[in-house]
Chain A
Amino acid sequence: QKEVEQDPGPLSVPEGAIVSLNCTYSNSAFQYFMWYRQYSRKGPELLMYTYSSGNKEDGRFTAQVDKSSKYISLFIRDSQPSDSATYLCAMVRFQGAQKLVFGQGTRLTINP
């Protein structure tokens, strides 16, 4: 079983819809959580970085962390065609090597 599970999709929604992307993890040692956006043939781009349980908002994006359930989410409001990309969740342990452990990525398409 992978440490981080993420539904690979693909997920296709109409423009303007609210998008919900999710990851679950098995290791309670993970303390920092990130969401990256990756366009085709490009490197991952950091979108959100959170530590505490609860919500963190940045423009149209909201990251949610529930450490008790080992579950993180990314919400995209008023989705745009330019949001079409693969979204990767990543997390890191508080102690140890500090290497990022990624989910598989969810491929998202926003249809005009």
Chain B
Amino acid sequence: DTGVSQDPRHKITKRGQNVTFRCDPISEHNRLYWYRQTLGQGPEFLTYFQNEAQLEKSRLLSDRFSAERPKGSFSTLEIQRTEQGDSAMYLCASSLNINTEAFFGQGTRLTVV
């Protein structure tokens, strides 16, 4: 499989619980992005990595959110103390370098009940 892989595809959690999502980018892609998409809206940027370095975080990424990309390979996005407003599709994308197109994974759909 040469595409961006995300796990799990769907997560249902109770409010207040912590959740962690994983993204495996396309091999050799240096850049990795996390986006959030709510129903009827386009994806909104959360954060991105150049190799293992997290270079930018959106103001949408509150203190309850943390992302890592150890060794510049896969990435994890953790949400602590989930709230109902966190319910959304969390998308991961990767690109080879600064000026090439980004390819998205299938997303992780989070439902907070």
Contacts and interface: CB of A to CB of B under 8 A. Distances in A.
A34 B109 contact: no
B31 A46 contact: no
Given A44-B91, A46-B102, A49-B101, A100 B43 contact: yes
B65 interface: no
Contacts of A103: 42
B33 A100 contact: yes
B107 interface: yes
A42 B106 contact: yes
Interface in B62-113: 91, 93, 98-99, 101-107, 109
Contacts, number: 56
Interface string A44-71: 1110010000000000000000000000
Bin the interface of chain A by size. 20 to 34
A27 to B, nearest CB: 14
Contacts of B99: 32, 98
Bin the interface of chain B by size. 20 to 34
Contact of B104 (A6, A41, A45, A98): A45
Instruction: Indicate the member of B31, B33, B42, B93 with the most A CB atoms within 10 Å.
Output: B42
B43 A44 contact: yes
B44 interface: yes
Of all A-B residue pairs in the complex, the 5 with the closest CB atoms, nearest first, are: A102-B42, A43-B104, A99-B45, A97-B56, A49-B101
